[in-house]
Amino acid sequence: MIDFRYHLVSIIAVFFALAAGIVLGAGPLGDTVDDTLAEQTSSLRDENRDLRQQLEDTERDTAYQQAFLEEVTPRLVTGQLEGEYIGVIALPGADEETVTAVRDTLVQAGATADLTVRIEPTWTDPDSEPTLDELATELVTSGTELPADGGGYARGAAVLAAALMAPPTEAGASHETIDTATVTAFEESDLITLEQDASVAPSMAVLVAGNVSGDDAEDRLDRLATLVGGIDAADAGTVVAGPASTAEDGLLRTIRDNGDLAEVVSTVDSVDLPSGRAAVVFALSEQAGGGSGQYGVVGETDGALPPVPEEPGASVTDEPTEEGSP
């Protein structure tokens, strides 16, 4: 059995250890610890100062590049879309300022961009399919073929596209007017909003994508991709543009992963930047010549932007003459 002397010795040993620690900490070991902490603090302070300076330099360089591109872009795109009628379609989640900037860039390029339509998030709701199917059945006009596959989403997309877009012709836009009755019916069903009206139906379209979230995001993106396909089937060229995030896990990724759709629809994944909006202009020019491509900075693309026509308004797919002029 452990007696009192054992406890006494243990207590004395603990006090000796504490006393030794205090003496050593206040003596040579204390000086070493203090010096080490001081050196580490100084090093961290210097590193923090360097990182802050790097951040300030990066922000300054980015601001300069943005200002430069904003000044250069109008001159770069001027005349590239002269005579084209282009509709701007804002998809769910699209940033309003970006939509406005895209429209302004199209106008700078010489296009008529009077039509702006916003697709409401309700379009991709699961319970919207019967409504879209009913609208398609009631509003379909002669010359519009309802898809056999894709259900109400595909049928609704086909009828809306036919109401908004002018059919492609050899001479470009046919100068038809928009089917306002059909557009109004979709508006009254809270599926779209006509933000800017047009007297002439456009023959090409830019769809501005935004971020789509939620547990059913993949299903909603598939429904939007169906809408993109319907728009493209009714016009002479379609470009879908969004920020980089939409190419990582959004609509642009869905389109690029869909081989058939990516063959005919162009995408640009940096539309929130002046350089991306310039790429949209050149992608439309390429579409007008029958080409397509995937452009931007995310994943495997066909480059930062399409080939730039040598002359404003000349398609990059135009065959050169014997003299070499487009």
- The three-point CA angle 40-42-44 to 5° equals 70
Residue 253 has a pLDDT of 97
Q: Span 195-220, mean pLDDT?
A: 93
Residue 278 has a pLDDT of 94
Contacts 24+ apart (CB under 8 A), 145-150: 147/230, 150/226
What integer pLDDT is reported at residue 176 of this predicted model? Answer: 78
Distance CA 240, CA 117 (A): 14
Is it the case that residue 35 has pLDDT exceeding 90? Answer: no
Per-residue pLDDT tens digits for 210-222: 999 999 999 999 9
The larger pLDDT score, comparing residue 114 to residue 320, is at 114
Q: What is the pLDDT of residues 75-104, one digit of tens each?
A: 678 899 999 999 999 999 999 999 999 999
- pTM reported for the whole predicted model: 0.76
Contacts of range 97-103, beta carbons closer than 8 Å, 24 or more positions apart:
98/208, 98/243, 98/271, 98/272, 99/208, 101/277, 102/206, 102/208, 102/241, 102/271, 102/277, 102/280, 103/196
Give the model confidence (pLDDT) of 41-51 as tens digits: 877 787 788 78
- Give the per-residue pLDDT at 125: 97
How sure is the predictor about 27, in pLDDT bands with cuts at 50, 70 and 90?
A: low
Which tens digits make up the pLDDT trace of 208-260?
999 999 999 999 999 999 999 999 999 999 999 999 999 999 999 999 999 99
Rounded to whole angstroms, how far apart are CA atoms 12 and 226?
A: 82
Whole-number CA gyration radius for the chain: 31
Lowest model confidence (mean pLDDT) among 108-122, 164-178, 244-258: 164-178
